[in-house]
Chains A and B, each alone.
Chain A
């Protein structure tokens, strides 16, 4: 027989003013199994909790019902109180008679009636509550960082600093990401490579960090604290250990007409290549799409010149499996494809470039050695037009609906740098709004206008037309002057929108994390949990979560690292015990539950059963991994045989509540 204690809270006058708490306690005392029913001024206060603890001991209670505020507020408080008095915390139920009764109703009689019914429902439910024990699951003390840009590097360094092993998986042959391609950073104008490359070296030399470059994540299994990840190490046809990065192969490779991705295709590289001088790891890779040896079997020059004997044309993709406790996603961003924007003539004219291309054109390690020249005829541009919001803030299928956030600032930077270096150049910036929220950001933009005399024009470029004489006609509106302008430009720079990397979507599916419609990873809470994904054990770092500049990316990277470290320091994690479980005797192995489970928590196992006729049979039955199950209950409804049930919200418990309310 159950021995249930009911405690009705006054909450000062919050409840007592509209609900007759004495009447509620009195009515509930007649419910079956109720041995004690009391009311008290503030149940959540220490003396209120002591009331519960004493009653548990004194009356040997097997269940507790607290009629008070929302369980979202104090469920944990009372669970802890019960636990300290020796009662299983999951034998406590809360009847919400404040938020869902006293605060919304005015009439005392009807509000009291409702409070009694809510109390009865909770009593009916607590009758069926089972003691639950939160399981524990061990934590593998190793983290995986997916993406080796500044976000991934910073996260890895921070985690390694705390003494945990970290693996970085980077799909390109070198880490560094977009920041390695950038010339200068705003608003301080310090050299990007000068601050990034030391960090890249630090990452490569850190004993806790393993860098898997030219690799991709191909499979993720498991759950928080215990992920099993398969990493595909793509064949680079060069032995990573033997290669010294001397570059002799690059000098001799006869295939010299490969567009150089690092310079955004503005010049060419060889088929065997090291992306850039400061690459980490400084190991060559052979591009199989261009290598004559790999394509036609005729060449082999690189293997002849390689004194280290590192070239291996027969190398295959390699798969390695590794266990991790935490995963940090840092897949970053890319510039959108501008093919659909005919009006800007990006595909028709080499002198119309994106901002990232301009970044390379101005970089000392870029195709022109740092001298700004037009890509078409290598002459000096004298009039440069910048176009903002190309593809950002678009409500059509061509662009992105969001603001890319970084363009206003880098355009101001470009304009300023050009005016500084080439004062004879006229620079026009067409803007819709100049968005400069950030420390020293607006001052920076004002400096571009006031000190460097960059012409900021409110309006948008409508049409860019390359002309026969090599000039470019830019037709645009000047909204403040209310006129249409034609600028005879030498170069046009498009501030193209940024989008999440294409690899992010399949990765999100593997990780069972959520994404928004723009393919940015969704954080667990937009305000209060900005670096965690909704899936436990998976953290977000950098622009994969939304457009960000470098300082924000680094801040988020360190925050994600802190969260990951917080997980890795634990030896085990407590699981939510309100998870699904299947009654193996009822389960008919139909797989309905497996299909609806959003977390892949349900697997099927062949188990031996003793049958009623004393034979043994092997049956396929569902089994739920309690560490993965989040307790949504989708499987319980999908199950046709009623084998699946959810702890804490079982079929019988909810039915009992329904009955109590309808009675």
Chain B
């Protein structure tokens, strides 16, 4: 398979307000670089991320979606990240069914203190998605960029 070196993946990151969004802010405060491909959407808790949002992103042309939440046991809302974990596990089997590579979706735990982890995770994820190439399976051609 040919790897298109000019391919710049579109990556949507859902970050929970209390841990991961703060972690993302921290990586900014520490000037830790990660690719511009990642665009962050703030949600109150990772459990706010409806799997539908992820499918919508793929439909609209995203090449990768990453969900970041508090570490297990640290959720601001006690148990939200556990729900996320289960939902994403179920989503994986649906993505398998649809033929979308599992590696395009990732769930990561990033605490508010882990700016370096956030940057490293985003870098790694962007590289992984870049290797996978553009997402064509679920992309709605009507939404294709001109």
Contact = CB atoms under 8 A, between A and B. Distances in A.
When A and B assemble into the complex, do they touch directly, with CB atoms less than 8 Å apart?
yes
Interface of A: 70-72, 96, 98-101, 103-107, 110-111, 113-114, 117-118, 121, 512, 514, 534, 578, 596, 598, 630-634, 636-638, 646, 649, 651, 654-655, 657-659, 661-663
Contacts of A512: 78
A91 to B, nearest CB: 17
Q: Chain A interface mostly helix, strand, loop or mixed? A: helix
B139 to A, nearest CB: 9
A659 B59 CA distance: 9
Given A100-B24, A598-B78, A658 B60 contact: yes
B68 interface: no
A70 B77 contact: no
Q: Please classify how large the interface on chain B is, using the bins under 10, 10 to 19, 20 to 34, 35 or more.
A: 35 or more
Contacts, number: 130
A649 B14 CA distance: 12
B48 A637 contact: yes
A111 B36 CA distance: 7
A662 B144 CA distance: 10
B133 interface: no
Interface string B8-22: 001010000100011
B48 A633 contact: yes
Given A96-B25, A100-B24, A111-B36, 4 more contacts: A101-B28, A598-B80, A632-B76, A662-B12
A659 B44 CA distance: 19
A654 B50 CA distance: 10
Contacts of A634: 45, 47-48, 77, 79-80, 83
Contacts of A649: 43-44, 48
A511 to B, nearest CB: 12
Among A72, A111, A633, A649, the one with the most B-chain Cβ atoms within 10 Å of its Cβ is: A633
A651 B50 contact: yes
Contacts of A103: 28-29, 31
A75 B28 CA distance: 17
29 contacts: A70-B21, A70-B28, A72-B17, A72-B21, A98-B28, A99-B29, A100-B24, A103-B28, A104-B31, A104-B119, A107-B36, A111-B36, A514-B78, A596-B83, A630-B77, A631-B44, A632-B48, A633-B48, A634-B79, A634-B83, A649-B48, A654-B53, A658-B41, A658-B56, A661-B62, A662-B10, A662-B12, A663-B61, A663-B143
A512 B77 CA distance: 10
A578 B77 CA distance: 14
Interface string B58-81: 001110000000000000111110
A534 B48 CA distance: 19
A590 B21 CA distance: 33
B21 A662 contact: no
Nearest to B30: A103
A100 B49 contact: no
B19 to A, nearest CB: 12
A632 B39 contact: no
B57 interface: yes
Contacts of A96: 25, 40, 42
Contacts of B48: 632-634, 636-637, 646, 649, 654
Contact of B33 (A98, A104, A514, A633): A104
